[in-house]
Structure 1
């Protein structure tokens, strides 16, 4: 970094502060109620140091979301915009995530991308980061407070509504339904169910036979469905908020040699493969709201804009594309394995490295 004479620096700082004082926020953007300090590196030639603090890396979707981030961050590092980045994994533990954030504060990072383990339990650490002048972009799993630089999300309530509307339409507003939710206490799972319940309440002839928290996993989705079928329950539809859980439900029906019923799913390549295979011999149908793993790239770009002193919206809601039987082949990748999620900015080289399908 080049040295500057002190008098010249003083003039520059004075002029900059004067201009900032005369500039107000845009009327067409959501802004926070607090003023955020400008990054200390805004005028430096050095790149920014940032952190990606995730709630967990248990689901294949989160693993791909991190991969999308790391590819984009690597490109920015090559360009000199980023000097260094850290990745932390809280393993679903708010106490661990608080410690992760505090460690990033101690390291003096310029910005944090955060997937929250809890909407409230980690807020004190987030506040500490903001008070230290660190930009915090919160994505996917959100904190309740607006004391962050920006929140980026897709509507989980809309996700649940899309799946419920499909089930109701397929059953003509009448039938018995199994509900497969995600992780108990998860804000994402809760809001998806809120969206679905809002739809089902409008149809008194839709009956919820059983609700299971299947943790977005194949095994628990399979077992919850099999347990209900073993009770000789007549299931007319399965409202599921995760593709792996739906794959488990399909296998449970097939094990009992029962006709498949309408089931909602999610946009994993594995579920799309199962859906296509079922279509070859049955009238099975489904729907998949596409919860994009590229949200991490949007968060990264938003953080860099904020660090450069640009105004960013406090809330950014990304649209949800919907996969149906009409457009399924636009998303499905026969050359990639089941862990791939069907919306990506990953290069072909990275896709093959991470998701190359084994020869059968």
Structure 2
């Protein structure tokens, strides 16, 4: 069975086997002479569950992989979604099946940062370059590519507090409770709020970074709330704004999602009260490809590559509305040069700069 035919049964897996720590292990597969681009690399992506953000990541990943295939850098690529609802057990089984296909690179978006460690280590032991994407993981043999979740907590809260001049009543919209990103995000938010004694958290809701879920949650508490100045946290701004408007209440400062539908709503409703959009960047799927290729080229790559969050201000709204489909999420346009610059910045302990949006 061919690499491609064996993997086309699913829908999205990056395979990346890599240096675990800088200079600790050597890349296998079709490694090139140091400094040269590798050729004929087979790459797969294993995804733990599907939502709109993940679909944007997968689409960006596949489009970039196809471009690199045309250049002869990638020979085969595939992406596979694990069955079940974010089941680590199902994804572990999927990863082990993929390892048998012997890709050069395996990219894993894990359902669990702990339960999948053995499966990831097995892939490394098989000589596969592994990149763990959008999560941290205690797997020294893999390279981590993710956003800064504590910074996400900061970026999803501070602009709202500034918009209300550091005083007033807020509702804190939690993310995917129990996940590592949400834990870091929430911890940072609590630290920040300690420095704002004139801000009262009237309630916390569990919006799970989803607009419809957030809308149900806010409707459930809205009748008992005083005037609310802001609802910072993990996106959901469209559902929150709709709920307040339906209740004939002033729309507070909210955090919109970075998808075309939410941004179009923000624009169409003319909400100009300091609301904003911020979310993790689905473009990191493309960045992971170039991190893997850097490893295969013999470059020393840090164990952890932390990339900037996606932020959209009122001034940038028109650009994104014009360039996004309704279900598409905004993403930074990572490429070989911008990823190389990010790697060098991390080595030098400097700030990583996102590629420019044109």
Cα offset, 1:292, TM superposition: 2.3
CA 1:310–1:336: 2 relative to 1, 3 Å: closer
Please identify the structure whose Cα radius of gyration is greater: 1
Match of 2:118 in 1: 124
* Aligned pairs (5 A) from 1:69-108: 69-90=61-82, 91-108=85-102
| Cα distance in 1 between the residues matched to 2:239 and 2:272 | 18
Report what 1:248 is aligned to.
239
2:269 is the alignment partner of 1:278: yes
For 1:232 and 1:178, the matched residues in 2 are separated by 9
Identify if the C-alpha distance between structure 1 residues 233 and 82 changes in structure 2 by more than 3 Å, giving closer, same or farther. same
2:175 pairs with 1:182: yes
Aligned partner (choices 324, 330, 342) of residue 330 of structure 2: 342
Which whole-Å deviations, capped at 9, do the CAs of 1:310-345 have from their partners, x for residues lacking one? 322222222235322233223332x64321222355
SS at match of 2:321: coil
RMSD: 2.4
Specify the alignment match of 2:53 in structure 1. Answer: 61
TM-score normalised by the chain length of structure 1: 0.79
**Contact 2:157–2:233, Cα closer than 8 Å, also in 1:** no
Local SS of the residue matching 2:66: helix
Q: How many residues align?
A: 310
CA distance in 1, matches of 2:188, 2:326: 27
Aligned 1:1-80 pairs, distance under 5 A? 32=21, 35-42=24-31, 47-58=40-51, 60-80=52-72
Deviation at 1:34, TM superposition (A): 7.3
> Could you report, residue by residue, the CA deviation over 1:16-55 in whole angstroms, capped at 9, with x for unpaired residues?
xxxxxxxxxxxxxx97177324324337997222210112
Q: After superposition, what is the alpha-carbon deviation per residue over 1:207-248, rounded to whole angstroms, capped at 9, x for unaligned? A: 222222222222211111111112244322101312xx2111
Cα offset, 1:66, TM superposition: 0.3
TM-score normalised by length of structure 2: 0.79
Task: Give the equivalent residue in structure 1 for 2:231.
Answer: 238
Q: Is the 8 A contact 1:240 1:265 kept in 2?
A: no
Instruction: Give how far 1:144 is off.
Output: 3.1
Deviations 1:335-357 (A, max 9, x none): 643212223559xxxxxxxxxxx
Change (3 A) 1:337 1:47: closer
Residues 304 and 204 of structure 1: CA distance in aligned 2, closer, same or farther (over 3 Å): same
Given that 1:262 and 1:284 are in contact with CA atoms closer than 8 Å, whether structure 2 keeps it comes out as yes
Counterpart selection for 2:106 from 112, 121, 130: 112
Take 2:194 and 2:140, find their aligned partners in 1: how far apart are those partners?
A: 31
Check the 8 A contact 2:152/2:185 in 1, yes or no: yes
For residues 271-327 of structure 1, the C-alpha deviation after alignment (integer angstroms, 9 at most, x for no partner) is 221222232xx5433122353221111101111222233322222222235322233
Is 1:200 matched with 2:193? yes
Residue 297 (structure 1) aligned with residue 286 (structure 2): yes
- Structure 2: distance between partners of 1:47 and 1:132: 19
Which residue pairs with 1:320 in the alignment? Answer: 309
Counterpart contact for 1:47–1:80, Cα < 8 Å? yes
Match of 2:205 among 195, 203, 212: 212
Distance 1:257 1:43, change over 3 A: closer
* Alpha-carbon spacing, 1:189–1:119, altered in 2? closer, same or farther (3 Å): same
SS at match of 1:56: coil
Partners of 2:292 and 2:272 in 1: CA distance? 46
Stretches of structure 1 lacking an aligned partner (at least 5 in a row): 1-29, 347-360
